[in-house]
Amino acid sequence: MFLIPCPYCGERDQSEFAYAYQAHVHRPKDPDRLTDKEWADFVFIRDNPKGVFAERWIHAAGCRRYFNLMRNTATDEILAVYRIDEPQPKVEPALPATPSGEAPIGSGNDAVKVVKPAERGS
Amino acid sequence: MSGYRLSDGGLTDRGTTLRFSFDGTAMSGHSGDTIASALLANGVRIVGRSFKYHRPRGLWGAWVEDPNGIVDVAWNGRTTPNLRATTEPLINGQEVRSVNAAPTAAGDRWRKLDLVSRFLPAGFYYKTFMWPRWERYEPRIRALAGLGRLDPGHEPAADCAQVNARCDLLVVGAGPAGLAAARAAAARGETVLLVDDQDAPGGALRWRGGTIAGSDWRDWAEDAVSTIKAAGGRVLFRTTAYGVYDHGLVCAWRRREAGPDQLWRIRPGRTLLAAGAIERPLTFADNDRPGVMSADAALRYLRLYAVVAGRRIAVATNNDAAYPVAAALAQAGADVSVLDSRDDSLAMAECALAVERNTLPSAALGQEDLTGVLAGDLRLEADTLLVSGGWTPTIHLWRHAGGGLRYDERLAAFLPEGGMPAMRVAGAANGAFGLAAALADGHAAGGDDGPAPPVGEGHASYAIRPAWPDPAGSGRAWIDQQSDVTVKDVALAAREGFRSVEHLKRYTTLGMATDQGKTSNMAGLAAMASITGRAIPEVGTTTFRPPYVPVPLPVIAGRRRGQLFNPPKRLELEGRHREAVAGLREYGGWLRPSWYGADGAAAIDAEARAARRAVGLLDASPLGKIEVIGPDAAALLDFECYNRVSTLKVGRARYVLMLTEAGIVYDDGVVMRLAEDRFIVSCSSAHVAGVRMRLEEWRQDRFDPARVFIHDATAHWATIAATGPKSRDLLEATLPALPRQALDLAHMAVTETALDDAPLRIARVSFTGERSYELSVPQSAAAALWDRLTAGLATLGGCRLGLEALLILRAEKGYPIIGKDTDGLTMPHDLGMTGPMKKREDEFAGRRALFTPQARGADRRQLVGLAVDESAEPLPTGAHGYAPSGGRRRSIGYVTSSYLSPELGRPIALALIENGRERLGERIPLVHLDATFEAMVTSPVAYDPAGMRLDA
Amino acid sequence: MLEPDRRSPLHHRTEISAEEAAHLRELPFQGKIVLRGDAGSIGDAAADVLGAQLPVEPCGSALGANLAILWIGPDEWWIITEAGVERDTQARLSVALQGRHHQTVDVTDYYTTIEVAGLRVIEMLSKLTTLDLHRRAFPLGRVAGSMFAQTQATLWHAGSDEYDSPSFRLFVRWTTADYLWCLLAEAGREFGLPVQEPLAGETWRLAR
């Protein structure tokens, strides 16, 4: 269960929220001008990155507001939270990657990597 | 038989004698014993059998690390399988039974299996029983294995509470490091939650002892606990923090003597892991003999329970931590000798006992029981061999949280590496071995920059010289005692290419037993390193996954059982329905009447007839009532609905579909316009939450949120529907105060009025095809309204109408239920609703998708009726219509609803059939399981196709 | 007459108590009006009717003339009134707010109110919700919607009980009120609250 900082109510448990898919997916202004494939892309195709992802949530059990957040999908670290009418902020994952390349926080299910002696610098 | 209890000492309550039995033999112990300490005190050596070879197994550890002491415990008439003897408290009357053994652990009838063990290497079962099918052999092989036996009569109570907790600092482990840290943080005013799996503070101090801040460690520990409590913190004993989950959530299993166990879900500001370290075994031939035990465990049995592991004891070690054990056992009266892999050390120099230097065991002697130790040329007689292969820091939770590791050559152990914002590790878990180092590490981790409490003498050295498994060693040397994995199995895995430590684990099952490799993983990966010529850190560790210890499922399930499992939504009128002998079932999350009366089938039949001939009274309260208000309300609903809403006149209602952006029918419902800027969306009861979310997202994302508001008022209103040709008569007779214009409402009209003082909304909406009135009043007035309406039923020949009869009535009319008579491909024109897509030029959700080649295809599955002979049984729901295709059957759709119509006296069915409307009159074959049928494709409307009855 | 026969969802339950440790009762028929709108636009006119400004601080509340105003969302408040005056309050609001974009919905019968109070009340509630109820995080006047076991409800730290322990009001849906009542009693069982047997469930199932 994540701890999600609702931009209105503050930090709450994930059980109060519902996921509402990728953020910044704008409904085409004039769908009739789109080819079938373009429309299908709008309806069905979403990004699924390992890394920073802007996604939409609703505080369903609380203030019932939709909002966007930026999450590092590799670590589940939440990097930014903002209203749906605000532009996507620029964020860098705040935590450095471990020397082996694995993310330093997460859900406990990433494979264990240990630092090889040769790679250990000062 | 060589363990025994001293006449005094230990922490058990000798005043109470607890009776128990092991494999049928009567024994006794004391309050404060674990099952394991009591078994050892009673001289039990063989506590179980190994999983694969049925080798005898004795106690290796004294706590969660022990791989062998797995027992079934019957108590109070119930058997709980696979409890761990080392952590399970002894209770009077327990019947303890060993696992993997029959009839007893000592006299197991499969013990000869070990004689053929060389034919049963790792992977033997997978390789041998592949042909022709594993399933053929599985039952018999499983009968040989499988640990404990389940008691089908034992349904544990669902009474474990789940507690959500917060704190500034969570400290895991109340040993010296954890106590020092918690104490320091509490002194700075932090709210500390300290958890420990033992029943008192101190950690290893409890058996290793020590002097802190000038007095006995107990005084200091007591003071630390009161400091924590004084600062508003809590200390939970018998509580195991077993996993770290998303965003630092820590889950802990709290065992309680008074009352059921609890699951604690802890959201700490930060977490300090001070879980100590676990002693490692040494690897030599037949090192799994009962009688070979962890040195630290032996000290624990001695100090906590006053139980001495044996009379003639050899201690084998590669570090200094085993010396206090040897000294304590010698003092307790045992005959103790020491083998040390090293040439010299501080502890060795101070040791008063005979020490064999540069020597480690090469084999344990004896058959079912240990008789001696072979160390090169040296042969020692011994009934007990205590070993210490060094210490493995308990960094499980650190790894759950994603912390890094490094291999420390000096300590021969993996240690936490790098930082994490919300977690730290301290004490032995952090490689700070020895009391002084652990205290200092914990003290600093608690945030105190000053000096740590001073400690007394004699806890300084560790001085390990690693002793890893020797792949060239003779005999069978055990690495994982519970899963029966030897050094040779690791070598076999390497030969067959399973060189990754994760592959090694899965191929040999190393570390996959109930102890999750707490004592075997290090030896296993060290063996793999040695066999493949790699350094230990190059091999790495397997993934650490929660839980740290096995957690009983009732603890995780919590209160969720019976009516508290998943609560149905309750109708205000449920009591009234029960009084009328309703059959009640869950429909779309609501507990609703299916019919009224003892005989369900007869009741459904009678209710359906009464609604067609007289009047039926339905509790329709779950129907959605989402209020949409504001100047942009009509525009929002135009976008939401397939049918245009803005052209609706005030006081009128319209049946609408709602589509997904893929053009698929999402829900249907009725939109009512109560004022220019006020609408009620009466969607289907199961879709209220979903429709509200859709509306809310469009409102916030696409519209001006200040110009339209949405609020769900579904459960505020109870809705009672009177349907049938005499529905108007019923209202007239029972609600004389009702205004005339309410009775005179036209079909699809709606009005707001009042009945006595309660607001009342009346809508002429029909789900049966008959004249119908939907009456909505606030819930608190529902019972009074229901009582008045039901009082008039009998004289009119009407009755209460359950959901099952309603389902038949609407199917007779061809009214679809979205999600039952439609699927994930159904578009509005498949239901015959083509008007809006032809006429509407404005935008609405899903519109574009209706104009794709797929949507316009000639092979779409359309909603039709299916007719069979009058005397035939109704078609099975789910039966597929098919077309023969090259000797096979190609599905052309399926039956979605099927009933026997009481009014028509014949079966009716709705179906989604490919190009169905073109097939009207065609006879199609159907198949369901092994049976075939034939039916004629018809219009979905089987009853009153002209719609004459709506105003009858 | 319908009104004199009004029934509340927990009419079949009576107050249960474990003295100062915990007590639990339904406050039936408390009026509940949802008010939606922009605070800047409707705030002053609403305050004239309600006797207090709409609280704009998230999760806050305000006390007005015999009523309370709870912040539910950035454009949503609940007006909690004494029993029986909700429709009058709603009507007066509608008049005062005429011409300004707003919505009022009577949800009096959507929810009922369970008063839960006592020395152990926070421990009890912590078994049902993930909300941080520490007095630092959830002081007097605080309001939060959250999940309580399997169902949504809104919690308001309304005051203190006769023993000076915190007193909360839990606004629960009519349809799941009995479920939460039983779970609250269950959560307080170790502090002395009596067991409350849940209502019966389904009477039949589809044959398999």
- Give the residue-averaged pLDDT of C100-124: 96
Residue B797: its pLDDT value, please? 97
Q: H/E/C letters for each residue in B391-457?
A: EEECCHHHHHCCCEEEEECCCCEEEEECCECCEEECHHHHCCCCHHHHHHHHHHHCCCCCCCCCECC
More confident residue, B143 or A99: B143
In the chain, the amino acid numbered C196 is: Q
Residue B314 near residue B385, CB atoms below 8 Å: yes
Cβ <8 Å between B563 and C200: yes
Q: Out of A58, A112, A115, whose CB is closest to B399?
A: A112
In a domain, A117, yes or no: no
Most B CBs within 10 Å, among C3, C13, C203, to test the B interface: C203
Most B CBs within 10 Å, among C110, C132, C180, C190, to test the B interface: C110
In a domain, C8, yes or no: no
Residue A118: its pLDDT value, please? 45
Most A CBs within 10 Å, among B399, B516, B539, B700, to test the A interface: B700
Strands B880-885 and B861-867: unpaired
Predicted confidence (pLDDT) at residue A119 exceeds the cutoff of 70: no
**Domains in chain C, number:** 1
Residue B92, min C-alpha distance to chain C (Å): 24
Cβ <8 Å between C147 and A16: yes
Residue where the block lists tokens 């005898």: B56
Q: Out of C59, C74, C130, whose CB is closest to A13?
A: C130
Cβ <8 Å between A105 and B245: no
Instruction: Tell me whether B158 touches chain C (CB under 8 Å).
Output: no
In a domain, C203, yes or no: no
Question: Topology of B468-534 in CATH?
Answer: Arc Repressor Mutant, subunit A (1.10.10)
| Residue A29: closest C-alpha in chain B | B843
Superfamily grouping for domain B161-278+393-445 = FAD/NAD(P)-binding domain (3.50.50.60)
Q: Out of C58, C131, C147, whose CB is closest to A8?
A: C58
CATH number of B281-389: 3.50.50.60
Residue B845 near residue B837, CB atoms below 8 Å: no
Residue C90 near residue C34, CB atoms below 8 Å: no
Cβ <8 Å between C201 and B563: yes
Touching chains, C (3+ CB pairs < 8 A): A, B
Q: Out of C5, C173, C176, whose CB is closest to B784?
A: C5
Rounded Cα distance, A2 and C106, in Å? 34
Q: Out of A66, A112, A113, whose CB is closest to B544?
A: A112
- CATH number, domain containing residue A62: 3.30.2270.10
Out of 3.40.50.720, 2.40.30.110, 2.130.10.10, 3.40.50.1820, the CATH code matching B840-951 is 2.40.30.110
Question: Tens digits of per-residue pLDDT, B866-910?
Answer: 999 999 999 999 999 999 988 899 999 999 999 999 999 999 999
Neighbours of B890 (CB within 10 A): 12
Instruction: Tell me whether B544 touches chain A (CB under 8 Å).
Output: yes
Q: Which CATH architecture best describes the domain B626-712?
A: 2-Layer Sandwich (3.30)
Residue B677 near residue C101, CB atoms below 8 Å: no
In a domain, A68, yes or no: yes
Cβ <8 Å between B778 and C106: yes
**Domains in chain A, number:** 1
Residue A117: its pLDDT value, please? 41
Rounded Cα distance, B806 and B802, in Å? 6
More confident residue, A74 or B156: B156
C3 chain-B contacts, CB cut-off 8 A: 756-758, 781
- Alpha-carbon Rg of chain A, whole angstroms? 18
Q: What's CA B550's distance to the chain center, in Å?
A: 13
Same fold, B161-278+393-445 and B281-389: yes
Question: Tens digits of per-residue pLDDT, C139-198?
Answer: 999 999 999 999 999 999 999 999 999 999 999 999 999 999 999 999 999 999 999 999
B697 chain-A contacts, CB cut-off 8 A: 20, 58, 66
Residue B34 near residue B86, CB atoms below 8 Å: yes
Domain ranges of chain B: 4-113, 161-278+393-445, 281-389, 468-534, 626-712, 840-951
In a domain, C113, yes or no: yes
In a domain, C2, yes or no: no
Stretch (H or E) spanning B547: none
Instruction: Tell me whether A2 touches chain C (CB under 8 Å).
Output: no
Instruction: Tell me whether B559 touches chain C (CB under 8 Å).
Output: yes
Q: Out of C7, C107, C150, whose CB is closest to B716?
A: C107
In a domain, C9, yes or no: no
Domain residue limits at C91: 21-190
Predicted confidence (pLDDT) at residue A106 exceeds the cutoff of 60: no
Cβ-based neighbours of B513, under 8 Å, separated by 6 or more = B51, B67, B480, B482, B483
Residue A105: its pLDDT value, please? 40
pLDDT band at A94 (very low <50, low <70, confident <90, very high): low
| Residue B244: closest C-alpha in chain A | A108
Structure tokens at B456: 């007394």
In a domain, A122, yes or no: no
Question: Topology of B4-113 in CATH?
Answer: Ubiquitin-like (UB roll) (3.10.20)
B781 chain-C contacts, CB cut-off 8 A: 2-3, 5-6
Question: Tens digits of per-residue pLDDT, C9-53?
Answer: 999 999 999 999 999 999 999 999 999 999 999 999 999 999 999
Averaged pLDDT score across all residues of chain C? 94
Q: Out of A1, A40, A104, whose CB is closest to B402?
A: A104
In a domain, A7, yes or no: yes
A60 chain-C contacts, CB cut-off 8 A: 152
| Residue B402: closest C-alpha in chain A | A105
Rounded Cα distance, C157 and C121, in Å? 11
Domain residue limits at A40: 3-96
Residue A105, min C-alpha distance to chain C (Å): 22
Residue C40, min C-alpha distance to chain B (Å): 11
- CATH number, domain containing residue C119: 3.30.1360.120
| Residue C133: closest C-alpha in chain A | A12
| Residue C131: closest C-alpha in chain A | A12
C187 chain-B contacts, CB cut-off 8 A: 161
What stretches in chain B show pLDDT beneath 50? none
Residue C13, min C-alpha distance to chain B (Å): 14
In a domain, A34, yes or no: yes
Rounded Cα distance, B778 and C111, in Å? 11
Instruction: Tell me whether C76 touches chain A (CB under 8 Å).
Output: yes
Rounded Cα distance, C49 and C56, in Å? 17
Instruction: Tell me whether C194 touches chain A (CB under 8 Å).
Output: no
